[in-house]
Amino acid sequence: MPVDAQTSYTVPQMRIAANLRPVALRRPPRLAIVFTAFGLPLCCLVLFVLSQPQPAAAQTTAAKHLLIYAIDVEGGQSTLLVSPSGASLLVDTGWPTPDGRDAARIQLAMRDAGITKLDHVLITHFHVDHVGGVPELVKRVPIGEFLDHGPNREDSDITRHDYAAYLKAIEGKPRRIVHPGDTISIPGLDTIVLTADGDHIASIPGVSPTPNPYCAAEPKWDLDQTENPRSAGVLITFGKFRFLDLGDLTKAKELPLVCPVNLIGTVDLYLVNHHGFNLSNSRAFVDAIHPRVAIMDNGAHKAGSPEAWQTIHESPGLEDLWQLHTAEDSDAAHNSPADLIANLKGGADGAWLKVVASPDGSFSVTNARTGQTKDYPHK
Ligand SMILES: [Zn+2]
């Protein structure tokens, strides 16, 4: 089994607002406060109301902003982007479970964003925590096209099985194999493929490569023979706002993007490579991309490695490192404050982190567990 294809399954549950010390600049919605005060009976009513479609409000938000949901798929990846035009891209689909847990969580995020179909679904690579949710998702949601890096390259029975299940699920549906330099047509966004099938882009239009002083101290890393370094990764630009998602790219393939020169430039939001495993997140890479905010899609007992956490935490310019889960096998010194964690140890699972970005480069992150929002003004 691949190193990152391990987790436990849980039944989806709604989140309950907790009494946490707020770090956010904005209060949670009034409904959440009412819920906390009046307890379970009203809770059920509130959850019912919140679960209903709210297209008017969502469309108003989507008309001006890029929405990004880091969906909790328990240590896999599923990241939903909805552009101001309403066009959408889902990066990865989480795991397969008998109850369709991750497809259901994706549908909840789609409802929050006011969309009923997915225009593009990008599968970064063929590990089960990324591609495993496809068979269930195609039963539930109309999908415009699937994008991936081409055939499975990993010599393991489990990944051959998961790739075959993917091909069967998307049979007859549009599929496009992407290469570095390809674009994904999402009105309102510039979306470019930086990595795919072990190759990387030579240069990014509009970006001048700059020398990277962090390369000199970076060790040489061996290439692992799994699907991870084959990950299809994208850079998404919305005005001045830049978001980087490279799937589970590992160190040996991170470095050509930033050494000896940094081809990417800096980003506002970094979806942490490989859920925060220390097989990824080389210091020369993380420091070069200089994220303002990082979101780590770790599980309770998966990834969130102390070494990777520390590298990101110490990255120059980093303002916050958000986590989808408490990294329970790590320690308090290598977990972010509770307000920045969507799903705490001992609590319910399924809370997402929602980013609302503006073309001027400003953005906010909302923790669905607490309802609190933190703003990152444009610089
Ligand atoms: Zn993974």
Query: Residues 123-158: pLDDT tens digits?
Result: 999 999 999 999 999 999 999 999 999 999 999 999
Whole-angstrom distance, CA of residue 377 vs CA of residue 362: 5
Give me the pLDDT at residue 222, please.
96
The alpha carbon of 276 and the centre of ligand 1 are apart by a number of angstroms equal to: 10
The alpha carbon of 55 and the centre of ligand 1 are apart by a number of angstroms equal to: 32
Whole-angstrom distance, CA of residue 64 vs CA of residue 83: 9
The alpha carbon of 72 and the centre of ligand 1 are apart by a number of angstroms equal to: 13
**Pairing of the two strands 269-271 and 293-296:** parallel
The alpha carbon of 8 and the centre of ligand 1 are apart by a number of angstroms equal to: 14
- Cβ atoms 55, 69 nearer than 8 A: no
Q: List the domain boundaries for the chain.
A: 30-77+177-376
The alpha carbon of 214 and the centre of ligand 1 are apart by a number of angstroms equal to: 26
CATH architecture of 30-77+177-376: 4-Layer Sandwich (3.60)
- List Cβ neighbours of 216 (8 Å cut-off, separation of 6 or more): none
* DSSP single-letter state for residue 340: G
The alpha carbon of 256 and the centre of ligand 1 are apart by a number of angstroms equal to: 21
The alpha carbon of 6 and the centre of ligand 1 are apart by a number of angstroms equal to: 9
66-70, strands of its sheet edge to edge: 175-177, 143-148, 118-122, 88-91, 79-82, 66-70, 353-357, 363-367, 373-376
Give how far Cα 189 sits from Cα of 82, 159, 248, 288, 310, Å: 10, 32, 23, 23, 32
Distance from CA of residue 236 to its chain's centroid?
Answer: 12
The alpha carbon of 91 and the centre of ligand 1 are apart by a number of angstroms equal to: 12
User: What are the pLDDT digits (tens) for 153-175?
Assistant: 999 999 999 999 999 999 999 99
- Cβ atoms 349, 322 nearer than 8 A: no
The alpha carbon of 304 and the centre of ligand 1 are apart by a number of angstroms equal to: 12
Residues of the chain with pLDDT under 50: 1-3, 5-25, 30-62
Give me the pLDDT at residue 213, please.
96
Q: Hey, is 323 helix, strand or coil?
A: strand
Give me the pLDDT at residue 172, please.
97
Q: b/e for 331-357, b at 16 or more Cβ within 10 A?
A: eeebbbebbbbbbbeebbbbbbbbbbb
The alpha carbon of 61 and the centre of ligand 1 are apart by a number of angstroms equal to: 30
User: What are the pLDDT digits (tens) for 48-97?
Assistant: 434 443 444 444 444 699 999 999 999 999 999 999 999 999 999 999 99
pTM higher than 0.95 for the full model?
A: no
The alpha carbon of 25 and the centre of ligand 1 are apart by a number of angstroms equal to: 32
Torsion on CA atoms 304, 315, 125, 302, rounded to nearest 10:
0
Give me Rg for the CA atoms of the chain: 19
The alpha carbon of 36 and the centre of ligand 1 are apart by a number of angstroms equal to: 35
The alpha carbon of 274 and the centre of ligand 1 are apart by a number of angstroms equal to: 5
The alpha carbon of 41 and the centre of ligand 1 are apart by a number of angstroms equal to: 38
The alpha carbon of 346 and the centre of ligand 1 are apart by a number of angstroms equal to: 23
- Using a 10 angstrom Cβ sphere, with 0-12 exposed, 13-18 middle and 19 or more buried, the burial of residue 72 is buried
The alpha carbon of 3 and the centre of ligand 1 are apart by a number of angstroms equal to: 9
Q: What percent of the chain has pLDDT over 70?
A: 83
The alpha carbon of 185 and the centre of ligand 1 are apart by a number of angstroms equal to: 25
The alpha carbon of 243 and the centre of ligand 1 are apart by a number of angstroms equal to: 18
Give me the pLDDT at residue 45, please.
40
